[in-house]
Amino acid sequence: MPGVDVEAVTAIDVHTHAEVSSHGHQSLDDSLHDASSAYFGTDKAHRRPTLEELAAHYRERNMAAVVFPVDTESTTGLPAVPNDEVAKAAADNPDVLIPFASIDPAKGRLGAREARRLVTECGVKGFKFHPNLQEFFPNDRSAYVLYEALEELGAIALFHTGQTGIGAGAPGGGGIRLKYSNPLYVDDVAADFPGMPIILAHPSFPWQDEALSVAVHKPQVHIDLSGWSPRYFPPQLVRYANSLLQDRVLFGSDYPVISPDRWLADFAELDIKPEVRPKILKHNAARLLGLTGGEGGA
């Protein structure tokens, strides 16, 4: 089957979550799920979409979406939505879904071997890391064996940065520590793995300037705008998106906690140059993901 038709879709969302497996289990326990729902203003009873429902959601909107699970088995004891399940859903819906995987760096060489299989056999294009939930600093040398595999494979590394809505408002933040997600730790990774494309996910509150500095200095580093309504973007992020980083800033929603409809409606009100807007919404992602038709800017 053909893949994403870059010329036909209106946008490419580089940040959506696979949170429900085909067996119905969710990747977060109820307390963290409820805290996240309260933080993002969603109904805590809201049913998270299956992968097929996620595909239908984006197809209805004529958009494509990068989708991934988050592997936190070593810290939470809960299984993630299987990477193979995400890859299969993307293979079944290649017009709208682009598969990323997640491997906890704690899995070491076993994780590196699994990453190679997922890329070469399942078509996975990148890997999601969540330092807060996986409890590691991105520049911890124990993670380097996994990064070595990703660089060799040409896969993208996407790191959660900044404050997380997971555990926000729960007693003690649900035990989740924010220190791991300072994007400056990713600067070491970018320096040591110059052939590995990197995405810094989210406006990186309270380290927005650090994220901008890393992205300006390291040409393989991109920033996705997920997890926040654009109406709350820091002014320096908007300024750099309009100028020095206009070719490396990406649309991301954080669906299902933030819908693409809400994000795009608020983005329409943001002071973004007309020639930059289509780059952020589609063309930068198409180029990064190796999709056809991603070179233009209009």
Domains and CATH numbers, the chain: 11-288 (3.20.20.140)
Q: Is the dihedral of CA 200, 206, 212, 218 positive or negative?
A: negative
Query: Which contacts qualify for 235-243: CB closer than 8 Å, 24 or more apart?
Result: 236/208, 236/209, 236/212, 237/203, 237/208, 237/212, 238/270, 238/271, 238/272, 240/212, 240/215, 240/216, 241/272, 241/276, 241/280, 242/271, 242/272, 242/273, 242/276
Provide the terminal-to-terminal Cα distance of the chain, rounded to the nearest Å. Answer: 27
Per-residue pLDDT of the chain (298 residues; tens, 9 = 90+): 579 999 999 999 999 999 988 776 565 555 555 555 555 556 544 568 999 999 999 999 999 999 999 999 999 888 999 999 999 999 999 999 999 999 999 999 999 999 999 999 999 999 999 999 999 999 999 999 999 999 999 999 999 999 998 888 889 999 999 999 999 999 999 999 999 999 999 999 999 999 999 999 999 999 999 999 999 999 999 999 999 999 999 999 999 999 999 999 999 999 999 999 999 999 999 999 999 754 443 3
